[in-house]
Amino acid sequence: MNFDRITVETLNSLALRWAVLEHGAVWAAKSLPVILVATLVIGGLAAAIREMRRRELPFRLIEGAFVALIALILGMAVNQIVSAIWFRPRPYDAIPGLHLLVAASPDPSFPSDHATAALALAIGIGIAVPWLRNVLLIESALLLTGRVAVGLHYPSDMAAGLFIALFAVAVAQLIVFKGRRLLHRVAAPAVGWIVPLGPPSPAPASQGKVLLAAGLLSALVGMPIVIEAAADPIRLHPEWLEAVVLAGLWTGLAALAVLLIRASGGAGRGMTTR
Smallest CA-to-CA distance from 63 within 78, 74, 46, 48 is with: 48
User: pLDDT at position 187, please?
Assistant: 60
User: pLDDT at position 50, please?
Assistant: 79
H-state helical runs in the chain:
3-17, 19-52, 59-85, 91-94, 113-125, 130-149, 155-178, 180-192, 205-217, 223-231, 239-270
User: pLDDT at position 210, please?
Assistant: 56
pLDDT per residue as tens digits for the range 100-156:
888 888 888 888 899 999 999 998 888 788 888 889 999 999 999 999 999 888 888
Range of the domain at 46: 3-270
User: pLDDT at position 101, please?
Assistant: 85
Flag residues of the chain having pLDDT under 70: 1, 54, 56-57, 59, 181-274
How many structural domains comprise the chain?
1
- Residue 109 has phi, psi (to 5 degrees) of -80, -35
28: three-class secondary structure by DSSP: helix
pLDDT per residue as tens digits for the range 85-101:
777 788 888 888 888 88
Calculate the CA 20 to chain-centre distance: 26
User: pLDDT at position 66, please?
Assistant: 85
User: pLDDT at position 94, please?
Assistant: 82
User: pLDDT at position 271, please?
Assistant: 46
**Residues 6+ away with beta carbon under 8 Å from 265:** 126, 127, 130, 133
Orientation of helix 113-125 relative to helix 19-52, angle to 10°: 30
User: pLDDT at position 274, please?
Assistant: 41
57: three-class secondary structure by DSSP: strand
The Cα 35–Cα 138 span in angstroms is 12
What are the b/e assignments for 231-269, b being 16+ CB within 10 Å?
eebeeeeeeeeeeeebeeebeebeebbeebbebbbebbe
